[in-house]
Structure 1
Amino acid sequence: MLAEGSGPPVLLLHGSGPGTTAAAWAPLIAALAPHHRVIAPDLLGFGSSPKPEPGRSLRSAWTEQVLELVDSLSIESFAVVGNSAGGAIALSLACARPGTVTRVVAVGSMGVAMPLPAGLDALWNAESAQAVANLITFLAPSDASVVAREAAMRAQPWYSELFPAPRQRWVDDLALTREELAGIAAPVLLVHGAQDRIVPMRDSFLSLIEALPDVRGHVFGRCGHASPLEHTDEFNRLLTTFLETDR
């Protein structure tokens, strides 16, 4: 877990790419820490955290893990930023603790019923770190892919066990129902890359926009699945403004 700064708490939840850890948020942590207490855990199965229990719902396991962390730190309210699968968990937290989650930022987010995207299926199914690294370069042909490649090469040996086939079930597992999404009271900012081939806009972003009651969206052009890395300065300004705007 990474923790820096002081002020209103903000949790940062990484996605499900191979080798991903809390360290993926380093540029954003530096931007937020002067005015916020920033906490970025390694979700179960990633970084320094142990594997989740076999067969358990990942949404349930990751949501419970984060809530236990929040309670252990005596945090009464917090904003949460989640990327990809982490976006689904951010929405799940807002659903589970409506009086605790103050704002949600979901980036390239899952969290809604959709078909398994081909890019995500290939990523979860890659048989080796090198294969994943090569795939990332194809799916995210930008400077951000260099960072993702490095992360892939650090992937835990059990990564391939996290998302066994049929992988559609893991997309379904991370999806909130329409009723759950409609019940989220916290303001939500959705951020997506127009060229995202891991979680395409048509599969997730548009459905979430329709389902959430208090939502605004931002789409980065010339951007894939990693807008915090591909458009770092713009993303950080967008996020800071959203977190600090009084409602």
Structure 2
Amino acid sequence: MSNPEIANIVKTGSFNTNYHDLGKGETIIFIHGSGPGVSAYANWRLSMPVLAEKFRVIAPDMVGFGYTDRPAGIKYNMQNWAKQIIDLMDALDIKKAHLVGNSFGGALALYLVINHKERFDKLVLMGAVGVEFDLTYGLDKAWGYTPSIENMKELLDIFAYDRSIVTDDLAKLRYEASIRPGFQESFSSMFPAPRQNGVDLMQNDEQDIKKITNETLIIHGREDKVIPLQNSIRLNQIILKSQLHIFGQCGHWTQIEHKDRFNNLLLNFFLEK
């Protein structure tokens, strides 16, 4: 049986990137979060086909995650992750794209828009890191994850507001993803204790964020225990052309717990001229 998480391979700088490429039209690049065993497909599987009806959707596995290469000695930092996205765009001959960033991906999307302004148009930030905040219990548990079914279950309980989606099957699936060869090794090296350092290293300067002129849609789950709602409120206060949408009865998984509304929000935002 083929693995839906593995799609296309392209050379980005010195390593190969696994990426999904669906649809036609203006390009939207989706950047996943940083949970254990995550991949672009796991993060965006419910959004990619819907958005691909109107747009070209590109969703890469960021280096250190999923099925992208894990080069020996690479430093996992914003500079190298940003370079991977720019290298991917160059390899696919994409001059300009819209950006959607989830959690860690939100911090990276902010970094990209600040440092490569000419390459990006509209911006969506979902449960985004990237501003100053104190490490939460939920994020500490996620970044400090050690593989076991029990730990994965506890983590999924933290991520989702709706406990009905945290099934034994999902926990088993995500646990198995987290123990694939190389996955835990790269993951555990990314955000070592004290993990507040990981939060701080993803932080963008507020003065730089204030200079962002891209149309920006900010989305957050009201009951998010991983990334504070206050992050998105702050981003809305300082990004000039931004709108904020808060989902009630929603944790850190807006794109899964409220998938139809989430997808409609994105479609409307990207289709609006």
Fold in common (TM above 0.5): yes
Q: 1:161-190 deviations in whole A, cap 9, x for unaligned?
A: 221111111111111101110121211110
Where do 1:76-95 residues align within 5 Å? 76-95=95-114
Q: Within 1, Cα distance between the matches of 2:66 and 2:74?
A: 20
Q: Within 2, Cα distance between the matches of 1:131 and 1:164?
A: 21
Any idea what SS the aligned residue of 1:7 has? coil
Which stretch of structure 1 is more off in the superposition, 231-240 or 120-129? 120-129
Instruction: Give the drift of 1:136.
Output: 2.1
Instruction: Give the drift of 1:64.
Output: 1.1
Of 78, 103, 109, the residue aligned with 1:59 is: 78
Q: 1:144 to 1:43 in 2, by over 3 A?
A: farther
TM-score by length of 2: 0.85
Q: Which residue of 2 aligns with 1:100?
A: 119
Identity fraction in percent: 32
Answer whether contact 1:20 1:152 (CA < 8 A) is retained. no
Any idea what SS the aligned residue of 1:234 has? helix
Unaligned residue ranges in structure 2 (runs of 5+)? 1-18
The yes-or-no answer on 1:70 pairing with 2:89 is yes
The yes-or-no answer on 1:6 pairing with 2:34 is no
Instruction: Give the drift of 1:144.
Output: 4.5
Q: Which residue of 1 aligns with 2:188?
A: 160
Which stretch of structure 1 is more off in the superposition, 110-119 or 55-64? 55-64
Any idea what SS the aligned residue of 2:174 has? helix
Instruction: Give the drift of 1:54.
Output: 5.2
TM-score by length of 1: 0.93
Any idea what SS the aligned residue of 1:61 has? helix
Q: Within 2, Cα distance between the matches of 1:196 and 1:4?
A: 30
Instruction: Give the drift of 1:138.
Output: 2.6
Which stretch of structure 1 is more off in the superposition, 39-48 or 132-141? 132-141
Answer whether contact 1:108 1:225 (CA < 8 A) is retained. yes
Any idea what SS the aligned residue of 1:154 has? helix
Instruction: Give the drift of 1:130.
Output: 2.2
Where do 1:48-197 residues align within 5 Å? 48-51=67-70, 56=75, 58-139=77-158, 140-142=160-162, 143-146=164-167, 149=171, 150-155=173-178, 156-158=183-185, 159-197=187-225
Counterpart of 1:51, as a letter, is R
Instruction: Give the drift of 1:153.
Output: 3.1
Count the aligned residue pairs: 245
Instruction: Give the drift of 1:56.
Output: 3.1
Q: Within 2, Cα distance between the matches of 1:126 and 1:59?
A: 21
Q: 1:17 to 1:144 in 2, by over 3 A?
A: farther
Any idea what SS the aligned residue of 2:47 has? helix
Answer whether contact 2:36 2:145 (CA < 8 A) is retained. no
Answer whether contact 1:52 1:58 (CA < 8 A) is retained. no
RMSD: 1.8
Q: 1:116 to 1:54 in 2, by over 3 A?
A: farther
Q: Which residue of 2 aligns with 1:15?
A: 33
Instruction: Give the drift of 1:39.
Output: 0.4
Q: 1:162 to 1:52 in 2, by over 3 A?
A: farther
Q: 1:131-165 deviations in whole A, cap 9, x for unaligned?
A: 44122233124244448633343112312222111
Q: 1:206-225 deviations in whole A, cap 9, x for unaligned?
A: 22112212111000000000
Q: Which residue of 1 aligns with 2:62?
A: 43
Any idea what SS the aligned residue of 1:115 has? coil
Q: Within 2, Cα distance between the matches of 1:40 and 1:63?
A: 14
Answer whether contact 1:209 1:217 (CA < 8 A) is retained. yes
Q: Within 1, Cα distance between the matches of 2:133 and 2:264?
A: 30
Q: Which residue of 2 aligns with 1:208?
A: 235
Q: 1:152 to 1:215 in 2, by over 3 A?
A: farther
The yes-or-no answer on 1:31 pairing with 2:50 is yes
